[in-house]
């Protein structure tokens, strides 16, 4: 699976070593860098708290073996059926004798960043 990637040997990742938690400033986020300044600067208590206070989404930290390796934000959203082109798909949301559902509930990933080395 590492064909074409710049690794000298195969990489083994143990999924049991991943953990996820809501954002809380624990000092470790100060050293986080994904190489994209906007994403790096977002990961501070003031930014995340404002983002969550305005109900724009929730930020989750990803750890591997206890070390911060990334983060993501998720928020609720809706897929408007008028934008879905497949008629077959949209028909599955029509209930007999009821109106057509206008949106399909969904989750949106607003920010996604992984630690760069």
Task: Output the domain CATH number for residue 66.
Answer: 3.40.630.30
Number of domains in the chain: 1
- Which whole number is the average pLDDT over 97-113? 79
Q: Is 114 helix (H, G, I), strand (E, B) or coil?
A: strand
Q: Which domain holds residue 55?
A: 15-114
Whether residue 4 is contained in a domain is answered as no
Whether residue 7 is contained in a domain is answered as no
Whether residue 5 is contained in a domain is answered as no
Whether residue 46 is contained in a domain is answered as yes
Whether residue 8 is contained in a domain is answered as no
Whether residue 88 is contained in a domain is answered as yes
Residue 1: per-residue pLDDT:
47
Whether residue 83 is contained in a domain is answered as yes
Q: How far apart are CA 72 and CA 110, in angstroms?
A: 7
Write out pLDDT tens, residues 39-81: 999 998 888 999 999 999 999 999 999 999 999 999 999 887 7
pLDDT band at 34 (very low <50, low <70, confident <90, very high): very high
């Amino acid at each position: 699976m590492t064909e074409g990637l710049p690794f000298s040997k195969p990489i083994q990742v143990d999924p049991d070593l991943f953990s996820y938690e809501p954002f809380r400033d624990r000092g470790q986020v100060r050293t986080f860098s994904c190489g994209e300044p906007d994403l790096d600067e977002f990961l501070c208590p003031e930014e995340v708290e404002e983002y969550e206070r305005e109900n724009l989404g929730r930020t989750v930290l990803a750890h591997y073996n206890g070390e911060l390796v990334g983060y993501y934000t998720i928020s609720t959203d809706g897929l408007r059926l008028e934008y879905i082109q497949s008629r077959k798909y949209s028909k599955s949301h029509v209930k007999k004798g009821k109106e057509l559902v206008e949106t399909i509930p969904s989750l949106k990933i607003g920010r996604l960043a992984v630690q760069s080395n």
